[in-house]
Amino acid sequence: MSKFLNATLIITLLAVPVFAGGIGRLATPDEVIAWDIDIRPDGLGLPEGSGTVADGETIFDAQCAVCHGDFGEGVDRWPALAGGFDTLTSDRPLKTVGSFWPYLSTVWDYINRAMPFGNAQSLSADEVYALTAYIMYLNEIVDDEDFELSKANFRDLPLGNEANFYPDDRPLTEYPLFTEACMIDCKSSVEISKYASGKDVTPE
């Protein structure tokens, strides 16, 4: 009897719906809202809100520049967020939001879920819009400090590199080439062409 009452009480207190079908229970709408924070390139998941480049610069200087640099150039080994234009075909490509990232939604989503490093999920939606706008500004996607990014205009200014991504083509471009396995007299001579020694980068 008391066990039954306790069970009823707990369910009432938690105010969660019970799913009679099997294992687990139904999620409440508020629970889904609390955890479903992701957004997609088509804007699905974006909350209401807005922020300007100028707002974003203030937040960036206070919370982001210590790692990413005043102009998004990246301090030490921390990631650069801006620049690197026309470097993707070079020997040392610099893959930034402006030079490489295919979707602006990825910037918003990542800041919102994981930044600032060590204080994740602390920014308001307006602050995330503002920071995203500022990173657009650092990458010369917008040039007006009064530019305001919002849910309404989010898809109006796509990043430039989307068309340069394509699905894994290894089954066509690689796998047919890698099927031979010579066993004897496979080459006439062997020379060492490169050494790791002398580079002095191996930990103790």
* Binding to other proteins, residues 108-167 (CB under 8 A): 109-110, 113-114, 117-118, 120-121, 164-167
- Cβ 146 to other proteins, closest distance in Å? 28
3 binds other proteins per the rule CB under 8 A: no
- Closest CB 144 distance from other proteins, rounded Å: 26
Q: What is the secondary structure of 81-123 as a DSSP string?
A: -S--TT-TTSSS----TTTT---HHHHHHHHHHH-STTSTT-S
For other proteins, which is the closer residue by CB, 1 or 15? 15
Cβ at position 104, least distance to other proteins in Å:
10
Cα–Cα distance, 33 to 196 (Å, whole number): 52
Rule CB under 8 A: say whether 13 interacts with other proteins: no
Rounded to whole angstroms, the Cα distance separating 175 from 191 reads 27
- Residue selected from 2, 23, 146, 156 as contacting other proteins according to rule CB under 8 A: 23
| Residue 194 engages other proteins in binding (rule: CB under 8 A) | yes
Tell me how far apart the alpha carbons of residues 151 and 143 are, in angstroms, rounded to a whole number.
19
Q: Which of 51, 53, 59, 105 binds other proteins (CB under 8 A)?
A: 105
In angstroms, give the least distance from the CB of 117 to other proteins: 7
Residue pair 161/59 in contact (Cβ under 8 Å)? The answer is no
71 binds other proteins (CB under 8 A): no
Which residues are within 8 A (CB) of 183 and not within 5 positions of it... i.e. 6 or more apart? none
